[in-house]
Amino acid sequence: MTLNVGGDETDRQPVSAPTRRVVSVIDHLADDVTARPTLADIIRATDMTRATAHAVLTQLCTDGWTVRDDAGRFSLAPSFLARIRHAAGAQPLTSAARPVLADLHRRIGLPVFLSERDGDFIQVTEIAGDIAWAAPGTRIPITAPLCREYIAWAGGREQTEWLSTAPPPTRDRLASLLADIRERGYSVERLGPEATEVIQTLRAVHLTEASQPVRRRLAELLMDLMNSDYRPEDLDGDVRALSVAAPVRSEADRVAQNRVTSSIVLCPGTSVGGSDLAALVGELQDAAAEIERAMLR
């Protein structure tokens, strides 16, 4: 966020336009580190002229912040990402979570990641194992039906705002699911051929300048393709699970009560028997509790 000195944060001009251009390019590349946009993609996303965008990216590549592949696609440079991860590793939550995630991954043989809330998105900050649809830095919009492990513990106003992003006929079902998730303590993302495509499409739309009505209409279309989560009575037999998520609550979260700012997510990506799912949930919740205890030391 730009530091606002002595003025309203809305409708202000950037303090340094050249710096703002560099930041906008880094922001765009960081919003989805797997996207690898072309120069034309970056021009559309940042509203810069071709000459300006080319100059900014040339300098960023020269300084080792970005790289350009043989197909002309850009991404954040590995060395730059390594520096960011090193800095993030000094954060208490990431430091507490890293060994727990690694140990959980070794025990259960499934990939697992830590996510943290960042405004209207959640961001993947640490991964143990390989996940095709997520990488450190991946951002997912907090919009229905996604991020239920965050919203299930949120206050009534935030839940209402989240539900308002879903088509009206689905809101009662989603509200009931939130109550189920809060009671049992975890969410389950259904596995299907559309699930990862829906997540990726929603993320892409929220990273553009699309208007709220356009986002809402697209969400309505996508909700027809995605039936998220399971009711309690559906968890006895085989469960096709893309992911299972449980909140990791800091001391501040517990004091605030209606807040979750991070979660731990394991990714089966296959059908799981009811008893096996229960065992995985136990492992997941134990890991979340271990991270919470480590944060208090």
| pLDDT for the residue 131 | 86
Does the bond joining 145 to the residue before it have cis omega, within 30 degrees of 0? yes
Range of lowest pLDDT (4-8, 46-50, 230-234): 4-8
270-272/66-68 β-pairing: unpaired
pLDDT band with cut points at 50, 70 and 90 for residue 145: confident
Q: Is it true that 17-77 and 91-296 share their CATH fold? A: no
Segment among 17-21, 56-60, 96-100, 151-155 with least mean pLDDT: 17-21
Output the CA torsion 1→198→176→149 (10° steps): -50
More confident residue, 15 or 168: 168
- What pLDDT score was predicted for residue 228? 61
Averaged over 246-274, what is the pLDDT? 87
- pLDDT tens for residues 233-255? 677 778 888 899 999 988 777 77
Report the CATH fold assignment for 91-296: Beta-Lactamase (3.30.450)
pLDDT at 133 over 50: yes
Nearest to 45 by CA among 33, 59, 55, 31: 31
Report the C-alpha gap between 23 and 20 in whole angstroms.
5
pLDDT score of 227 more than 60: no
Mean pLDDT of 168-187: 91
Please name which of 241, 120, 228, 247 lies closest in space to residue 175, comparing C-alpha atoms. 228
Report the candidate in 150, 212, 208, 202 with the shortest Cα–Cα distance to residue 181: 150
Q: How high is the pLDDT of residue 9?
A: 41
* Residue 198 pLDDT > 90: no
Exposed, middle or buried: residue 61 (CB in 10 Å: 0-12, 13-18, 19+)? middle
Q: Would you state the pLDDT for residue 8?
A: 42
- Quick one: CATH architecture of 17-77? Orthogonal Bundle (1.10)
Q: Where is average pLDDT lowest: 95-109, 218-232, 248-262?
A: 218-232
Percent of the chain clearing pLDDT 70 (strictly above)? 78
Alpha-carbon distance of 275 to 235, in angstroms, equals: 9
Single-letter residue type at 244:
V
4-13, 121-130, 272-281: least confidently modelled range:
4-13
For the chain, which residues make up each domain, given as ranges? 17-77, 91-296
